Structure 1
Amino acid sequence: MRTQIQRKIRFWQALFCFAVLWSNTEAQLRYTIPEELKEGSIVGNVAKDLGLEVSEISNRKLRIASESAKQYFSLNLRNGDLLVNEIIDRETFCGQSTSCVLPLQVIIEDPLQFYRVEVDIQDINDNSPNFLSEINVIEVPESTLTGARFRLEPAQDPDAGTNSLRTYSLNKNDYFVLQMKNDKDGTKVPEIVLEKAVDREKQSVHHLILTGIDGGDPARSGTTQITIKILDANDNAPIFEQDLYEIKVIESTVPGTIILTVKAIDSDDGANSEVEYSFGAHTPEIIQRLFAINPVTGELVASNHLDYEISTSYKIDIRAKDKGPLAMESHCRIQVAVLDVNDNTPEITITSSPKPVREDAPTGTMVALINVKDLDSGVNGNVTLDMSPGTPFKLKPTFSNHYALVTNERLDREAFPTYQIELKAKDSGIPHLLSSKLITVNILDVNDNPPVFSEPVYCVYIKENSAPGSILASVTASDLDTGDNAQIVYSVLDTNTRDILVSSYVYINSENGSIFSMHSFDYEKTKVFHIVVHAKDNGSPSLSSNATVHVFILDQNDNAPAVIYPSTTMGSVSNQRMPRSAKVGHLATKVTAVDADSGHNAWLFYRLVEATDASLFNVNLHTGEVRTKRSVLEQDDPSQRLLIEVKDNGEPIQSTTVTVDILIEEGINEPISDSRMKTTESNKKSGKITLYLIISLGTVSVLSLLTLFTLIVKCVRNSLGSSHCCLWRTDSGYKNSNRNLQIQLNTDGPIKYVEVLGGDMMSQSQSFGSYLSPMSEFSDLTLVKPSSTTNFTDTLNVLDASLPDSAWIFESQQVSACYFCIHS
């Protein structure tokens, strides 16, 4: 990292040298700015200073160029301002040089002219003096004479001029003072001078703070810590904390136990302060056999068993000796008193081992017999027995020192199949002695839990036309019991779907709950059916539970569009008539098709494949309306044949075609001179249209009420379970969200048709269309069967845009519903 910084400094120094050489030539413009101006700050107006008008900036192509790799300045081409493009750090660019100039070239290309611009970067006091090391360590022997000098690390300040480092200061102390020394290059180097003799035993380390201060206004500073370590000389003997130690040790102390730690302190340092402990020169053998001392830590250890009846006390002499060149030592005495204590713990004996207990065992059932005793006598031999809390058991005293473990509450194996009971015995000695024993009580299972399904309601989706034997779902039930009580057998309860038993649709693996189809499904015949799965355990008596599986059949694109208008029942070609006076946009006919599929598979698109004259007609992609692209000309063929393709949006795409012959005739729909006849005819047609509209609305209303009543009945039936179905869905991305039922009447051209759209196209909706044929005087009415859609938001937006201006739109209550399975 340091190497990279040095390279960067050398690079900027080289660039600075180039700038100085370049600036020897007098510049036409010179600006002065402080360093670290924020981006976008204005340096000066180059155009104004060069005598250019604002219009000449772009006309004469004024621009600037920089010698450096980075563009520190930019030119505002609207007003000629020279702007700071990047924050400039003077210390990075010029170091501590007194002059820092960035050269620029101002170029005017038309006609070509060059100008020199110098930007003088002024230093600001933005850097504090910095020491390379946060802590400097100096070692001073305690025998050092006063007047000794110790050189300190100088601080670095990247700023220049008066903002650079000016002086140092040292915190006040009794031993050292600060003096300054000037090197040959003028650098000020701080030194500390020993003013008073030091004593390591009084103070082994001195902490000083050296502060470097610059000449800025306000001044900035930096600090470093000076740690002075005083080196030692062996001039002190070890001293024990106490001359006499008195301790009491119980006779039952375990061998290896530390009974005391002695400590001697030597004020010297290093090897002069390292103390080694040992027994005195005339220590008796019995003490050396019963006790041991650690030579490093001074820990006194009982190395053998103590016996109060053999000896009640011991006297031990301990020696402490340092490791200096001229070793010094001292001594202390330890008085050990042996105490007679209660050294026998109570014993717990299980007279009768605990046997497994049924979880339905009555309260008071005996589980085990326990006996306690203590080898001590008197008060030390009196024992009480207790047990760990929080268990459904209790101890019942029987006779002297005997207890019975009995049940105290109702048991539940599923919550706690096993109990670990800790028995605790305590005597009456001082201090009390305790003993414990852990016994295990197992709980036997009783079939008291029915199987529980992982979900009360399952939602399963399967594509239509799937091969028989396909797996529909896997239901899983668990039983908290164990053994045979937890073995589960799955079966399907026979329920009717469309008067067909569910068992004829599916079969279930009785061991793992996997449900398989017995035949393929047709979405157009069956969209959803329900399976009730029964899970029963093998307990005695057995317990069971049920779960409902909703099987939703997913539509596949297995039906081609069917053209319902124009009708081709009398032949493969439909004949339509159109006046030769038809203008641009005239509705010649409308092709209407339906698809037995649903969702995206039922989206239909219309396309003109062939035409006698392709320039005369076009077909609306979404509505199938055939309109004129231009006016009919005299030379146009009076017989126009159109081949129209209808394809769906499924995968793979299904399509069909219809051929329409349009006869262009003179005199059709021309004005009738008899105004009464015209009025009568118009009223007659309007009355028929109104009648058809009323019939369509009535039909949709009846279907809506029937659908709503069916959904309410299903919700009531399913409300007893833990899931809720038949939720109304009103959210939609369709831009006209309040259009729930639309009645469209189109009277443009010879084709009269009414469309009734029921419900949000985002949900399963009902759509009806009635078409009035121009070939009939009484306009036949055709009702199209409902089509199921899933997501027509985009299509509806397109259809809204394509509706004719003369369309009549009526709104009614939404008729839609969908299944949701929400698990509580």
Structure 2
Amino acid sequence: MVEADDIDDHSTPNAKIVYSVVSQTPHSTTAVFGVNPTSGIMTLKGCLDYQQVKTYQVVVRAEDQGTPSLSSTATVNINLVDSNNNPPEIVKKKYVGNVKERESNITLLRIVVEDKDTPNTPAWKAKYSIVQGNENNNYKIVTHPVSNEGILTIVKPLDYEVSPQKALIISAQNEEPLFVCPLKSGKSVPPASTVSIMINVEDVNDPPVFTPEKIKLIQTEGLPPGLKLCKFNVTDSDADHSTIRFEKVYDPENWVKVDPKTGEVVTIGELDRESHYVNNSIYTIIVYAIDDGKPSMTGTGSILLYLRDINDNKPFILNKHAHLCEKKRSVVINAADKDLQPYSGPFTYELLDKGGNTKSPWSLGKISENSIELLKTKQLPQGNYTVPLKIVDQQGISGDDALHLRICKCNEEEECERMVPISAGLSGAAIGAIFGAFLLMLCKCEFYFFICGFVLLK
């Protein structure tokens, strides 16, 4: 906006001002700027292009309506600020990339764009999108912060057997929305620049595939060898005629054998649920399938063998060694069984008579789940005792076991006091007598050897 003042009487034509554009620099066939004749507000009559002209000088005249008419001029300097009026253009219209199947996290190619807007501004920085061909999210494209290139990366492996070629369409736009001058008749926002990309997938040897990868089976423990468990189903997508070799790689108890040609699995040992390698009644077997490709590839399959329990274990005393303070009357015995319910506790107990006609100094008291109370029926001296027991599970399977019990003098924490060494309880005289006896025996031995030697010399 330009503004002029006239000191003449404002109620007369001498002070009525009319504005007009005298010239603009640089010159053009069509005036770019205009001015409102009464308000002095400058207007835009054409479209500006920062890439062609960055600065304008416009001369504006202010003229009164008096007689004679008087006027003066002013120069308006206009500096243009760049905006996004030029879309990014992808230089090449076709790209070709190559990748091996099963490869990922590698750069396939870099897409180059040209943009006439001011570098390193949102009007210049490109933003790339994969508009077609990425339905399975195999690819990712990002903008290089310096070169403005689009870097296409594969993030999820491709499969040659599914399709040896993949087609993509990628578009490029700016971070800032594209601006189109509204003064240009028929002008609309052009579509984003796009490029077609062909990805060639190179075939490599694929590993054999187990179907299913994990076989879940249920068997009862204790069955004899020779039981057919299953047969692995394996396919190789590279060639129907490829040879597959099966190899057992994990079977810690060596319970099965796997036919190297057919993948048939047969037991060669008796299944035992109580094995250390059985976890929560499940025994795991792992098998490889190895093809004859170049290079050879390996697939992995497994068997999860759930073993049903049978009553094949006898109950036993859990802690076979215990102590009983001499002033106490009872001790608790805990029993266990490696079998599951209903082949284990609660147990019944019976004292076994190992002393002939001698009356046992023990009796059985209160039973609680898998434990029982052992009672003294009379006062017993300190020492070690063996208490034989018979333990019977719910199904009548019994096991004979024994508790090794020490009756001792206890401290306040009800722990057995340490046994005093024999030497600590002897007087000085007793020790001297023992030492003297030892010397006497030594002298006798020397005398004997002396006599024997004398006889031999004779």
- TM-score after normalising by structure 2: 0.46
Q: Which structure carries more relative contact order (alpha carbon 8 Å, separation 6+)?
A: 2
- TM-score after normalising by structure 1: 0.29
